[in-house]
């Protein structure tokens, strides 16, 4: 069947159109969705996308997940790391094909060896279960633009044959941008590339993940699927979409993480639909542990490699600066000086320290670690002008150093402070 473009009279692409009667089945097999570290990561017959800026940890996360699948255990389970025994994956062992299209072979091997060391895994178990394609050995391009338009590469057939011949279950493409030769701002061509990868999943029954870059942003903590390059085409083709972002400064202060260590802590939003960013305490948090390969030679220092591991925040709730400011203001509306003396003292040793009030308002357990975080938060509130120091008189005319809370900029009442 052919379609004729009535505007210019030129015959366009030929295709076959089919229809058939619907046949009811009383049993339909479930979707085969694989979860690792509490996140839905892969689905047999479907495409997944994992996005982040460069250097955040996409490849480190991918390797930890690949090894989880190869060994059939959840290395990112919510357990102390490293652990002697990890819970088995419900899917069992999976044969993984990693298209490593960015790192060269030695760099990828450093990453894998570091993960094997960190998680205390037997390397011999990789045989027959873990396959790798390196860009330097075999560049991958499933589609390109020619003089007559989009061209599907013969490599698509080769990829499908390799999946079948090696009984591949999981295909990881890192990064997606190196798996095609079309401009990312060409929406039509990008849609066809994404559809090629989706079709491979459907035809071969494999679960495939594309690791993808996001646009440059000013606030990484706000990243969503909308920020993926070629977002409409890529996200539209994927069943599961995740994004990674580094811990921001407010979160680090709330957790008591030093600024120079902040970049080693990463959160993942496993349901990264547009405009949906989970609160910090609901995110999946991970840490890049430094593993020494012990490969020093001839005066050269040994390599220290980052390995992704599960990380449990020290508090069950991140202390967010804007939340604390608004909660304090709302709690103190209409309260007199006696109340403020009892609850807004500047001295952290006082029973009336304002940190206790903030902790109660935000339902934060007042242990030593959280008290340190609250002190850091209070200092940030002072520096931003949200808190100002004042001296109030108690009922016996004794001076007490207290905080006044300045009205948040988006508050509707007319008072500047109270």
Contact 255, 269 (CB under 8 A): no
Q: For residue 223, what pLDDT band results from cuts at 50, 70 and 90?
A: low
Which segment, 164-178, 206-220, 311-325, is predicted with the most confidence on average? 164-178
Q: Which helix (H) or strand (E) covers residue 359, if one does?
A: helix 354-361
CB proximity list for 126: less than 8 A, separation 6 or greater: 70
Q: How far apart are CA 19 and CA 14, in angstroms?
A: 17
Q: Which helix (H) or strand (E) covers residue 388, if one does?
A: strand 387-393
Query: Which tokens hold the place of 181?
Result: 């030769």
Structure confidence by residue, pLDDT tens digits, 51-62:
877 778 889 999
CB proximity list for 398: less than 8 A, separation 6 or greater: none
- Placement of tokens 């995110």 in the chain: 283
Q: Where are the domains of the chain?
A: 35-310, 321-405
Give pLDDT, residue 7.
43
Contact 216, 55 (CB under 8 A): no
Structure confidence by residue, pLDDT tens digits, 367-402:
676 788 888 889 989 998 989 999 999 889 999 999
Give pLDDT, residue 11.
44
DSSP string, 185-205: T-HHHHHHHHHHHHHHHHHHT
Give pLDDT, residue 227.
63
Query: Which tokens hold the place of 216?
Result: 């440059």
pTM attached to this predicted model: 0.70
Give pLDDT, residue 6.
40
Helix, strand or coil, per DSSP, at residue 7: coil
Superfamily of segment(s) 35-310: P-loop containing nucleotide triphosphate hydrolases (3.40.50.300)
Which residues on neighbouring strands pair with residue 287, listed in sequence order?
A: 265, 309
Structure confidence by residue, pLDDT tens digits, 311-341:
877 654 556 777 788 888 888 888 899 999 9
> Given a cut of 80, is residue 229 above it in pLDDT?
no
């Amino acid at each position: 069947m052919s379609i004729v473009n009535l505007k210019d009279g030129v015959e366009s692409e030929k295709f076959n159109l089919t229809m058939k009667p619907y046949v009811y089945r009383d049993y339909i097999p479930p979707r085969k969705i694989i979860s690792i570290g509490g996140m839905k990561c892969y689905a047999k017959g479907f495409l997944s996308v994992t996005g982040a800026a460069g250097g955040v940890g996409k490849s480190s996360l991918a390797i930890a997940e690949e090894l989880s699948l190869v060994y059939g255990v959840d290395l990112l389970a919510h357990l102390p790391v490293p652990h002697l025994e990890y819970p088995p994956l419900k899917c069992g062992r999976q044969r993984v094909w990693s298209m490593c299209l960015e790192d060269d072979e030695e760099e990828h091997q450093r990453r894998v060896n570091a993960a094997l060391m960190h998680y205390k895994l037997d390397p011999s178990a990789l045989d027959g279960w873990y396959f790798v394609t390196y860009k330097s050995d075999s560049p991958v391009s499933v589609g390109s633009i020619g003089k007559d338009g989009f061209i599907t590469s013969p490599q698509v057939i080769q990829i499908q044959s390799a999946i079948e011949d090696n009984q591949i279950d999981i295909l990881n493409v890192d990064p997606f941008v190196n798996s095609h030769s079309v401009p990312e701002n060409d929406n039509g061509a990008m849609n066809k590339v994404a559809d090629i990868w989706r079709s491979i999943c459907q035809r071969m029954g494999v679960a495939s993940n594309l690791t993808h870059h996001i646009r440059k942003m000013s606030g990484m903590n706000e990243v969503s699927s909308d920020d993926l390059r070629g977002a409409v085409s890529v996200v539209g083709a994927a069943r599961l979409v995740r994004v990674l972002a580094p811990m921001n400064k407010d979160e680090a202060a709330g957790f008591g993480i030093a600024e120079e260590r902040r970049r080693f802590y990463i959160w993942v939003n496993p349901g990264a639909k547009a405009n949906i960013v989970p609160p910090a305490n609901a995110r999946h948090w991970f840490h890049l542990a430094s593993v020494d390969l012990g490969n020093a030679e001839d005066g050269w220092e040994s390599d220290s490699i980052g390995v992704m591991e599960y990380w449990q925040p020290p508090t069950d709730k991140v202390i967010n600066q804007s939340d604390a400011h608004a909660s304090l203001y709302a709690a103190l509306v209409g309260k007199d000086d006696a109340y403020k003396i009892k609850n807004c003292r500047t001295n952290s040793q006082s029973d009336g320290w304002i940190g206790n009030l903030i902790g109660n308002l935000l339902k934060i357990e007042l242990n030593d670690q959280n008290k340190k975080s609250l002190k850091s938060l209070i200092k940030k509130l002072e520096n931003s002008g949200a808190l100002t120091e004042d001296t109030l008189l108690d009922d016996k005319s004794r001076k007490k150093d207290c905080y006044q809370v300045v009205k948040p900029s988006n508050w509707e009442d007319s008072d500047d402070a109270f």
